[in-house]
Structure 1
Amino acid sequence: MILSERRVILVRRVMLWAALVGLFVSTYLLIVYVTGGPIVCGAVRGCEIVRASTWATSFGVPRPLLGVVFYTAIIALLVWRAVYPHTRARFAYHLSMLAVAVGFIESSFLTFVQWLDIKAFCIWCLTSAAMATILFIVAWWDRKDPLEDTTALRELTFQFWSLAAAVVAGGIAILFLTVPLTDGERPRLEPPNIGPSV
């Protein structure tokens, strides 16, 4: 296997995992946007402010749905290029480059909106923006030429197991994040109240 083919395999694997992380984030946000459930936000604490802003939707469509479509499209293009390595390979490459560019521009724009207009940050939105940035940067090391058939088959196997692992791990994580563990209120981790030592 030549060096450039190894590089392309690494690039496409990084793209696949970045897209899977982005898909998880977007799916989680879409669920809490649609259900109105609380967003687990961590230390940043701006998720609810971002969700309440006018920027949370675009023409009535929740922005996380756009993220789900974007990351699903990237994954589908990567799988297509492994299943049909010789069928319109250059077209699929150019479509991938266009998609990652649009995703990067949209994510960068929304990050600046959080900073300049909303004045609050959502850790999930920042994670999605980081994944879109990784996709944009790494995609420049991809190539238009198709992979050899044996390499493409090996990549398809890797993609299958990656998708299976992501579905299991992502499903468990989304259940953990969206299903309350108590009678409707999330448990709070607080240090035990220990009286003064005698």
Structure 2
Amino acid sequence: MTQRMGIALGSLISGLVALYLHLWKLGLTGALGCSSAGGCEYVQGSRYGWFLGVDVALIGAVGYAMLFVAATIGTMAKYEDETWPNTLMQLMIWPAVLFTLRLKYGEFIVLKGFCSWCVVSAVTITLCAILVTLDRKRLAKLA
């Protein structure tokens, strides 16, 4: 599996999780399945569950969908050694890493809460950052 395939897979999984959380906030799913006693509802319903009036889960679902498309296109034979898919993914991943740090600060330090679903996204975006960096190094060796 290439780094770009890993990014595509991770973004697909986290995108589906984000979509689930967004649908829950819209009231379109049942109870929120969460392993921590009420932590997910507490965190999702807090001010950190929204950013500039937009549901953070919706931002995640759209962002991961865009990342999935970029990574998938980047795995195509004619683009696998092109730098532009990597640059595009970096432009999406690094701001998402910073946004995730803000959310984790709010979740752990301010709210003193824990959302197990949010961990999926935090781990995924961290892995995507590592993979996009490794992909950039791979491309540098080809140049």
Q: Give 1:50 shift.
A: 0.7
TM-score, structure 1 length as denominator?
0.62
The answer as to 2:21 corresponding to 1:29 is yes
Alignment-derived partner of residue 51 in structure 2: 58
> Which of 62, 75, 78 is the matching residue for 2:68?
75
- Give the length in aligned residue pairs: 138
Q: Give 1:138 shift.
A: 1.5
Residues in 1 aligned to 2:95 and 2:37: alpha-carbon distance in whole angstroms: 26
Task: Tell me whether 34-43 or 104-113 shows the greater mean CA deviation.
Answer: 34-43
Relative contact order, CA 8 A, sep 6+: which one is greater? Answer: 2
The answer as to 2:88 corresponding to 1:98 is no
CA contact (8 A) 1:90 1:145 kept: no
> 1:65 corresponds to which letter in structure 2?
L
Whichever of the two has the greater Rg, that structure is 1
The answer as to 2:115 corresponding to 1:122 is yes
Residues in 1 aligned to 2:101 and 2:66: alpha-carbon distance in whole angstroms: 19
Q: Give 1:18 shift.
A: 1.1
Residues in 2 aligned to 1:131 and 1:85: alpha-carbon distance in whole angstroms: 26
Residues in 1 aligned to 2:16 and 2:106: alpha-carbon distance in whole angstroms: 22
Given the superposition, is the C-alpha separation of residues 131 and 90 from structure 1 closer, same or farther in structure 2, using an over 3 Å criterion?
same
Q: Give 1:65 shift.
A: 0.6
Residues in 2 aligned to 1:70 and 1:11: alpha-carbon distance in whole angstroms: 18
Unaligned runs of 5+ in 2: none
TM-score, structure 2 length as denominator?
0.84
Q: Give 1:79 shift.
A: 2.1
Unaligned runs of 5+ in 1: 1-8, 147-198
